[in-house]
Amino acid sequence: MNYPEIVSQLTLDEKIKLVTGYGSWHTYPVERLGVESIMMTDGPIGLRKVDEGESESHVSVCFPSGCLTSCSFDKELLEKMGEALGEECQAYEVGMILGPAINIKRSPLCGRNFEYYSEDPLLTGELAASYIKGVQSKGIGTSLKHYTMNNQEYRRMSYDAVVDERALREIYLTGYEIAVKKSQPYTLMCSYNLVNGEHTSESKRLLTDILRDEWGFKGAVISDWGAVHYRDKGIAAGLDLEMPGNQWANKDFIKSAIAEGSLTIDELDTCVDRIVTLVKRVKKRPAVFEFDKDHDLTRRIAEESIVLLKNRNDILPLKPDTKVAVLGEFAEKPRIQGGGSAFINCYAVDVTLEEMKKAGSVIYSKAFPSDSDKWDRSELDKAIECAKTADVAVVMAGLPDSYESEGFDRTHIHLPEGQNILILELTELGIPTVVVLQNGAVVDMPWADAVDGIVEAYLAGEGSGTAITNILYGAVNPSGKLAETFPRKLEDNPSFLNFPGDGYNVPYAESIYVGYRYYQKKKMDVLFPFGFGLSYTSFLYDNLKLSKKNMLDTDVLSVSVDITNTGEVSGKEIVQLYVSDHGDQSGRPQRPVRELKGFEKVSLEPGETKTVTFELDKRSFAYYEERISDWIVPSTEYYIEIGASCEDIRLSESVNVEATKTVPLKIRPDTVFGELLRDPRTQKYTMDNLINQQSSGISSFPPEAIAALMDHNPIRGLRNFGNESAERVEEIMYELKTLVHDTE
Ligand code: GLC
């Protein structure tokens, strides 16, 4: 306990207030004991400060989304972004920003993939740790979210992620583990969903046994907004703060739980102390919100992250005197961010068309809208006529807001039809064509082989117009690489057969084979692989050296490799280190072909060489052995592979590793899913699987459902009515009361 002198003086009512939010965005103050209230706001790509009772957020600066910043593979850059956000929080008197959001990209369809980083846990964890360090260096808190398995939006408040222990550990928890161990975030935010039958908000295993006892997490756990079911169970599990505030209901709940003995004062005090500690960790000081400075930073972050996917015949960079036909309304109205709680009220948006007109000779045709998938033949024809008068057509393509957001998932990965038609027709006419994409998640590209250039700008924040222009005209040499695989079609994705589940169970049957781990194991051809990105220069990989040829799994292996810029312009290269288990895997758990175990971004002038070094430890070689609940390194030969992408391995050296800990070689359970999946008919009615997901009127609910609704927590029930009008809510509550009365 960090503040026993405070906790011991608190009344029970004050303790209950401290473990329950105050309004939508604050913790509860206890002035008499010097416990201030702190404000928290979203994140993660800017400050969405909404005053209590308001809906409009303050003007702020919109940084690139996680889908793009992850492509920088640049820890320092993410730390700089965090520092800027921390400073902004100080200026707006916000004590904690609700980010980073790091759920693994299991399916390209997840509506919030735009917020998340990657399909790979190491990249995810390292970048999250950097962002957190940056923010917290300013005395401001973070909330690493959504812990865990929030890999879809469909039924997000009640689906049960059914996952085997190995996948949970190796894929879905490792990002959090790295971030916790490397940066000690002030808080984690638990997710809405269940994991193997238990709500994360009530899971002692996730919130205490693994997070605190195994990983040494010292911060507090807050709930996602409305993710709490039984507050007493949450407190006992290690959920320290329910958000948003719900002062009325919890008091009785918690007091009766203590009276019944299902909750102890010690358990309550533990949570209270963590909230007091959280509040004390926030160091408020005067600061100025430097809008222009942060706006420039958003441009730089986008420039360092944008990915050049194709550059046939060096069509890029464009020359100032190249006559360019810019096609598509995204040029005038760039899509720079995703929808939902991450939405930022922007300070100033750089418009691509205006920026391109400053850089070169540009004509424009709207071609298709940026805010819908409607298209019009005559508009496409106008665009084609415009392109015929130019040297190059640059199609500003992308996904309209309506395609992806928090709150729902996509059902396909196509661009709007009109965009694909235009691009294909341009190429059929032999017009040199470059496509710039502004999308929050993977899209398929039926024209990928036909076009000359492809630039993936994702959702690049308010500086995107300048960043895209600087990349297209070569003022900046692109250096981003993909943090997720682009499959040729959705059906190739490993989660396809089990996404989004039956509305109750979501079987993660692909286990550890997520993203490139799957495509490479299956030797599947993909459109663009994980870790792929081009440059306007070229790089030579040379002189790979390992510090050992033979080692124990408790040793550290040092790796070095030389990278040379062999081109004409300066550039940056993301050097990736993969570990591949090259032994005979019969009779032991199968492993991916290779796994990312290190990455470094190196900046090089033409002709310059630098040596990049890595350090590998036991976890670099280990898999998670469920039978002994520990990480194990099989004694065998491993390849240390240095790649420009997961498919483009430039150098490789082998090393023999001897295990200091082994497991009895028993036959493994053929599948863990059998006993984990449960019969949907046994599901308990809760607030979430009733209100949020029942479209019919409430009177159609079965009596036990109504009872659950009323007994459980009527205020929560009300909140779960979403944006219903006050009258409607009154109506519902009246209906509820009469129904409950009737069933009594
Ligand atoms: C939302 C989101 C979470 C956000 C919170 C507060 O439901 O899931 O990411 O931080 O509520 O807006």
Check whether residue 485 and residue 611 sit in a common domain: no
The continuous run of DSSP H or E covering 123 comes out as helix 121-136
Mutation probe of ligand 1 site: the residue of 26, 98, 154 with most atoms within 8 A of C-beta: 98
The span from the CA of 347 to the CA of 62, in Å, is: 7
Residues 602 and 711 in one domain: no
Percent of the chain with pLDDT over 90: 84
State mean pLDDT over 355-360: 98
Residue (of 192, 219, 213, 186) closest to 100 by Cα position: 186
254 part of a folded domain:
no
Of 219, 240, 261, the last residue of a domain is: 240
The residues pairing with 417 across neighbouring beta strands, listed in sequence order, are none
Whether residue 544 sits in one domain with residue 590: yes
Tell how far the Cα of 224 is from the centroid of ligand 1, in angstroms: 6
Q: What pLDDT sits at residue 503?
A: 86
For the cut 50, the answer to whether the pLDDT of residue 670 exceeds it is no
pLDDT for the residue 689: 55
Grade residue 674 by pLDDT with cuts at 50, 70 and 90.
Answer: very low
Q: Coil, helix or strand for 659?
A: coil
What pLDDT sits at residue 697?
54
Residue of the nearest CA to atom 8 in ligand 1? 224
In a domain, 345, yes or no: yes
SS (H, E, C) 23-65: CCCECCCEHHHCECCCEEEECCCCCECCCCCCCCCCEECCCCC
Give distance in angstroms: CA of 150 to centre of ligand 1: 12
Instruction: Give domain status of residue 599, yes or no.
Output: yes
Q: Summarize the confidence of residues 555-560 as an average pLDDT.
A: 98
User: Is a pLDDT exceeding 70 seen at residue 89?
Assistant: yes
User: Do 435 and 565 fall within a single domain?
Assistant: no
Task: State the distance from the centre of ligand 1 to the C-alpha of 341, rounded, in angstroms.
Answer: 6
Nearest atom in ligand 1 to the alpha carbon of residue 145 is 9
From the candidates 42, 224, 409, 688, give the one annotated as an active-site residue. 224
Q: For residue 461, give the 3-state DSSP assignment.
A: coil
Angle between helix 291-305 and helix 75-91 axes, rounded to 10 deg: 160
* Closest atom of ligand 1 to CA, residue 99: 10
Determine the pLDDT at residue 726: 58
Q: Is the pLDDT of residue 12 over 80?
A: yes
Within-domain flag for 603: yes
- CB under 6 Å to ligand 1: residues? 42, 98, 145-146, 224-225, 341
Instruction: Output the CA 189–ligand 1 centroid distance in Å.
Output: 9
What is the number of other CB atoms lying within 10 angstroms of the CB of residue 489? Answer: 14
224 in catalytic set: yes
Domain that holds residue 592: 539-673
Q: Which atom of ligand 1 is nearest to 150's Cα? A: 8
Nearest ligand 1 atom to alpha carbon 225: 11
With 70 as the cut, is the pLDDT of residue 728 above it? Answer: no
Q: Of 642, 673, 704, which marks where a domain is finished?
A: 673
Return left, alpha or beta for 73; rule: phi > 0 is left, psi -120 to 50 is alpha, else beta.
left
Same domain flag for 70 and 150: yes
Residue 48 CA, closest ligand 1 atom number: 12
Residue indicated by tokens 């996404």: 499
pLDDT digits (tens, 9 = 90+) for 224-271: 999 998 889 999 999 999 999 876 667 788 998 999 999 999 999 999
Token pair listed for 544: 């790979």
Question: Does residue 729 carry a pLDDT above 70?
Answer: no
512 and 555 in a single domain? The answer is no
Residue 465's domain is classified under what CATH number?
Answer: 3.40.50.1700
Strand intervals (E) in 415-532: 433-438, 453-456, 505-507
CA 225 to centroid of ligand 1, rounded, Å: 6
Residue to probe by mutation, ligand 1, list 24, 25, 187, 224, most atoms within 8 Å of CB: 224
Kindly give the pairing relationship between strand 392-398 and strand 453-456: unpaired
Residue recorded with tokens 């926030």: 282
Judge whether residue 611 has pLDDT over 50: yes
3-class DSSP assignment, residue 251: helix
Q: Are 71 and 483 in contact (CB under 8 A)?
A: yes
Residue 74 lies in a domain: yes
Residue among 42, 45, 96, 408 to mutate when testing ligand 1 (max atoms within 8 A of CB):
42
Confidence label for 204 from pLDDT (cuts 50, 70 and 90): very high
pLDDT number for residue 673: 52
DSSP of 142-180, one letter per residue?
EEEEEETT----TTTTT-EEE--HHHIIIIIIHHHHHHH
- CATH of residue 61's domain is 3.20.20.300
453-495 pLDDT, tens per residue? 999 999 999 999 999 999 999 999 999 999 999 999 999 999 9
pLDDT of residue 316: 98
Q: Same domain, yes or no, for 101 and 235?
A: yes
Rounded to whole angstroms, the Cα distance separating 397 from 704 reads: 50
Do 612 and 704 lie in a common domain? no
Instruction: Give CA–CA dist 114/101, Å, rounded.
Output: 10
Are 710 and 733 a contacting pair, CB within 8 Å? no
| Ligand 1, atom 3, residue with closest C-alpha | 224
Quote the CA–CA distance of 474 and 600 in Å, as a whole number. Answer: 23
Burial of 378 (0-12, 13-18, 19+ CB in 10 A): exposed
pLDDT value of residue 556: 98
| CB-side neighbour CA atoms (13 Å) of 670 | 1
With a CB cutoff of 8 Å and minimum separation 6, the contacts of 558 are 546, 547, 613, 614, 615, 616
Place 679 in a pLDDT band, splitting at 50, 70 and 90. Answer: low
Residues 655 and 716 in one domain: no
Ligand 1 centroid to 244 CA: how many Å? 10
Instruction: Tell me, yes or no, whether 687 and 638 share the same domain.
Output: no
Rg of the chain in Å (alpha carbons): 26
> Could you tell me the two tokens for 367?
């071609």
Nearest CA to ligand 1 atom 9: 341
Please give the torsion angle defined by the CA atoms of residues 678, 680, 681 and 686, in that order, rounded to the nearest 10 degrees.
110
Look at residues 636, 653, 673 and tell me which one is the last residue of a structural domain: 673
Take atom 7 of ligand 1 and give the residue whose Cα is closest: 225
What mean pLDDT do residues 440-463 have? 98
Specify the 3-state DSSP secondary structure of 680.
helix
- Identify the weakest region by mean pLDDT among 41-45, 223-227, 369-373, 678-682: 678-682
Does residue 194 sit in the same domain as residue 45?
yes
In degrees rounded to 5, what are phi and psi of residue 726? -60, -40
Atom of ligand 1 nearest to the CA of 98: 10
**Cβ proximity of 524 and 618 under 8 Å:** no
Q: Which pLDDT does position 588 carry in this prediction?
A: 83
Whether residue 527 lies inside any domain: the answer is no
Cα of 12 to ligand 1 centre, how many Å?
29
Q: Which atom of ligand 1 is nearest to the CA of 143?
A: 10
Under the banding of pLDDT at 50, 70 and 90, the label for residue 158 is very high
Domain-located, residue 530: no
pLDDT of residue 626: 86
Binning pLDDT at 50, 70 and 90, where does residue 55 land?
A: confident
For ligand 1, the distance from its centroid to the CA atom of residue 240, given in whole angstroms, is 17
280 has a pLDDT exceeding 50: yes
- Range from 219-233, 297-311, 511-525, 692-706 carrying the lowest mean pLDDT: 692-706
Number of domains within the chain: 4
Ligand 1 centroid–CA 145 distance in Å is 9
pLDDT of residue 448: 98
CA dihedral 593, 596, 602, 605 (to 10 degrees): 20
327 DSSP 8-state letter = E
Residue minimizing CA distance to atom 11 of ligand 1: 225
Closest CA to 108 of 458, 529, 509, 441: 441
Instruction: Indicate which residue's Cα is closest to atom 4 of ligand 1.
Output: 341
Question: Quick check: is 7 in a domain?
Answer: no
Task: Could you list the beta-strand ranges (E) of 605-648.
Answer: 609-616, 623-625, 630-632, 636-643
Q: Which two tokens stand for residue 715?
A: 């205020």
Do 510 and 604 fall within a single domain? no
Mutate to test the pocket of ligand 1, among 341, 408, 692 (most ligand atoms within 8 A of CB): 341
Q: Judge whether residue 54 has pLDDT over 90.
A: no
Q: What tens digit of pLDDT does each residue of 495-549 get?
A: 999 999 998 899 999 999 999 999 999 999 999 999 999 999 999 999 999 999 9
